[in-house]
Structure 1
């Protein structure tokens, strides 16, 4: 990144529930899952990002209008408390995504209110918690999110996510995973909503140290760079155009 390039402002959101309830999760992620995700982004995008974290129990879940207006990319991890996220905050995040804020949804965030709202489906899937090995295969090796990672990424222990994954067809399918039991899963997907980009990446669970995995951290950092807006944010609106408006516009620009 050049000195004149824009710094990406990242907010890493995590419900931070398992870390408070379960000693094993606290030992695995002493700074919280949000801390591990933030560290991985900083590791790979040092000097290119500023990072804040936010959690469920903060006022407005840490996602006030001021915070979101100052966020280029929001990452989202949730699992045990999807229903506790206020609809008002979901509405607010949705408007910012439609205006151009990037969103990276991680693992069980597939069932979050915001992801289901933006995709318009149940986002349900098949799962099993049984120490499966996950192989993450790259389908688009030239995609920005896939840069610098091997194919497959080998994750020795992981929760199994399998098809059918009730999502719209992704705009781009970057990764697909296979598991010990033979299941497959669309594990790395992009979606475009309004002026915003969304990337969903499934590897990562509170029961396993997946967010310490170097290749997983690389993918998340790549995704942050990919979904970051490249210009000013603007919510798409209904516009009425008179006949010949483009000719007048061209004359004004001449």
Structure 2
């Protein structure tokens, strides 16, 4: 079964904030660059894009039902995302849809809701070098990814990163300014798999690096559960001694 992927981007830098500057590295938007990378690494997959300004932010029920993995990039317009759409996405994640949250999407409504913390961190944007170290080389998301990956210029993220302890920590980053950061974290919520990956600021061509593209493709493969019937865990109230009836049958 071919994977069905939706790449969501708020699109504010591209359309409102800095369209000329964005055109230098991302003429088709960050969503366009990420989608192109995934098509190259996952040629059998179906990849669509969606934007904040689309009707229902491009994430109506029928799109989410037809999505195995959703990638989320946001920065300036977290508050503009409809709570109704967030609840819809949350329901699908709990039911088994994969979610990749990228860079400043750590402050998105969907990520903070699923993790239950502020997801705040330390940051500085001074075009510093980032070195991404693999700390779990056996994890599927690390497959084929060199360690370390060197990003010549990137926004600096640093600890403390206010997230629950990751179920799986795959990458940590060090920066030339001295910070360290848990840059690749995996979580499980309900039946859904979530991967947070921090490299990828709008000012730098990070999403064009082959190693970064490989991480995203691996993340999609890991998060996807296409054969899973999409239902969230539910409360049940079995009668006493129900298991005895099953043993008799």
TM-score range, shorter chain: over 0.9
Structure 1 counterpart of 2:105: 109
Give runs of aligned pairs for residues 211-226 of structure 1, distance below 5 A: 211-226=207-222
Give runs of aligned pairs for residues 23-42 of structure 1, distance below 5 A: 23-42=20-39
Structure 2 counterpart of 1:196: 192
Give 5+ residue unaligned stretches, structure 2: none
| Cα deviation code 1:99-151 (max 9, x no counterpart) | 11000000000000000000000000000100110000001101000001100
Structure 1 counterpart of 2:83: 87
RMSD, aligned CA? 1.0
TM-score, scaled relative to structure 2: 0.96
TM-score, scaled relative to structure 1: 0.95
Pairing partner for 1:186 from 182, 189, 210: 182
Pairing partner for 1:157 from 153, 160, 169: 153
Q: Does 1:11 align with 2:6?
A: yes
Q: Per the alignment, do residues 108 and 245 of structure 1 end up closer, same or farther by CA in structure 2, a change over 3 Å counting?
A: same
Structure 2 counterpart of 1:141: 137
Once residues 25 and 247 of structure 2 are traced to their aligned partners in structure 1, the CA distance between those partners, rounded to angstroms, is 59
Once residues 71 and 250 of structure 1 are traced to their aligned partners in structure 2, the CA distance between those partners, rounded to angstroms, is 39
Structure 2 counterpart of 1:123: 119
Give runs of aligned pairs for residues 201-240 of structure 1, distance below 5 A: 201-229=197-225, 230-240=227-237
